[in-house]
Chain A
Amino acid sequence: MEKNKIGPGRIILYVVLLILAFVMLMPFAWMLSASLKLNKDVFTFPIEWIPKAPRWQNYQDIWTVIPLSKFILNTVKLTVIVTLLQLLTSSFAAYAFAKLDFKGKNALFLGYIGTIAVPWQAYMVPQFIMMRNVFHLNDTHLAIICLQAFSAFGVFLMRQFYSDIPDELCEAARIDGMNEYQIWWDIMLPLSKPALSTLTIFTFVNTWNDFLGPLIYLTTTEKKTIQIGLRMFISQYSTEYGLIMAASVIVLIPVLAVFLSLQKYFVQGIATSGLKG
């Protein structure tokens, strides 16, 4: 008969929770605080969490010190295109795997399953060589798009969801004279909003935060994404802490905004991957 009375167990619980929350949040708070300081004040001890004279100038300067707007534009472009392609082609293919009967279905699906176990890092080298030697796509955004837009993960996730939608729904639509494309567009897509949201946020976060892909493929500064752009800046101006932290805050905002607004679907996505494997 546990009541929410404040006993010793409860106190320990809150103490542990507060310590963990502090560890989780402290780096972000420090980042925010340092982004408003002069370099010479960043490391003063004890830490001055709220600067007496916040230096908003850092947030202005960062746009001229590095082509930050260009980096952001490149990343937004890549993220939007990859996410759209991913949603479209995955849900399209998943419909066939979940709701249609055809020759070679199992073999094709096995092809997808088989590659899930192969880490990208194991074939990134030949993939780059092929992209460069055959398609001449090194140092292009198109290469990053081709790399990211056709994942087996998307097909899996969508198929899982479509399989739970009753077949009778499709049968009824067929009797009503709808063709398969109409069924996909008018029935399946509207019903699969939760799965689409999950896939959107996963693809968005992955593409926005991707590092190794752009690092291998993009060499021209103007083509770089925000992650490798920021990294380049950090290695060039390693002591400009105020500016580095301001840039970092700017880079974090879009992902945190998307995460906070779609959090429910993100958590659901992880939970289903956890339950169903």
Chain B
Amino acid sequence: MSIENARIVTPKIRKRRNNLIAYSFIAPNFIGFAIFTLVPIVMAVTLSFMKWNGSGVQAPRFVGLDNYTHLLRDGRFIEAFFNTIVYTAATVPLTMIFALLLAVILNQKIFARNFFRTISFFPYVASLVAVAAVWNALFSPEKGPVNSVLRALGVANPPGWAVDPNWAMVTLILFSVWKNMGYYMVMYLAGLQGISPELYEAASLDGANAAQKFRYVTIPQLGATNFLVLVMLTIQCFKVYDIVLMITNAGPGTKTLVLVFHIYNVAFKQWDLGYASAISMVLFLMVMIVTVIQFRGEKKTA
């Protein structure tokens, strides 16, 4: 003890030492994070004003806003943009409705509740490549079981699903809802369990029936959860790529081309990195707008 005390540790030295200790905790993660995330983000912004094919020989050339003005003339981009919006506008509400329906049912005291909760989560954790292969087989236009059932039920010309220009987007949306509703079901379940039982008791005393309780207790009480699910789902839909690749491959033609698919093609097939980055900025902006809305909304509810 006395030896320790003999060494004078001024507050300043202690502070510096504490700083160093703290940095040593953060460094392993932060260095990796800075190199592999922060630097590429800055590069993406810079590249969107350049023309470059990524080769080490040819240097990037500054082209100002050319990449951005090109966006307006690129029919593919405009199509990809609208397809992404259509996909999002349909997938988000459908997923929310089914996830909520499932959560409400699985929040009741029912037979084998945990079993049902578990299986409704299977599609979400299952590998996309595997379940997409099954879907493609099930919805195969000529011999798939889905169309076989439809024909047996008397539908003369069942849709061609993923290869049918009018149905490809529908197929994509159906698959997406099926794959992801389990995840949001869990979020709704958490929200439902947060509602005080007293509210339902009070409603019962006032003579409310099940539908009225759902309308006047459950829905308002789930406000925050609803909002969060909406935001998360919307962002997830904006970023869609792998589902599209595996179910429709952006086809038929470009009927289901989405933004990230277009970024991938422009970057890794045409090697037009500057233009790919400009499209990326559009995606970034879309996600940013949703995030800002979320921040505003959270402040309001807080």
Contact = CB atoms under 8 A, between A and B. Distances in A.
A108 B129 CA distance: 37
Nearest to B292: A117
A209 B130 CA distance: 10
Interface residues on B, range: 35 or more
A201 to B, nearest CB: 9
Contacts of B111: 14
Contacts of A256: 122, 125-126
B183 A146 contact: no
Contacts of A95: 25
Given A96-B25, A122-B283, A117 B126 contact: no
Contact of A205 (B19, B101, B125, B235): B125
Nearest to B35: A146
Given A13-B110, A121-B260, A205-B125, A271 B186 contact: yes
Given A216-B268, A241-B137, A123 B40 contact: yes
B130 A31 contact: yes
B44 A126 contact: yes
Interface stretch (B5-13, B165-173, B272-280): B272-280
Given A88-B28, A271-B190, A17 B110 contact: yes
Contact of A121 (B105, B178, B263, B291): B263
Nearest to B123: A24
A270 B128 contact: no
Interface residues on A, range: 35 or more
B26 interface: yes
Interface in B150-189: 152, 178, 182-183, 186-187, 189
A125 B44 contact: yes
Given A115-B37, A121-B283, A150 B125 contact: no
Interface stretch (B64-72, B75-83, B88-96, B239-247): B239-247
B287 A100 contact: no
B22 A100 contact: yes
Given A121-B263, A125-B276, 18 more contacts: A21-B119, A24-B182, A25-B122, A27-B135, A43-B137, A43-B144, A88-B28, A112-B33, A121-B280, A125-B280, A150-B33, A150-B37, A180-B21, A184-B25, A248-B134, A259-B121, A273-B187, A274-B229
14 contacts: A24-B182, A43-B143, A92-B29, A96-B26, A100-B22, A126-B44, A209-B128, A234-B133, A248-B134, A255-B127, A256-B125, A266-B125, A267-B189, A277-B294
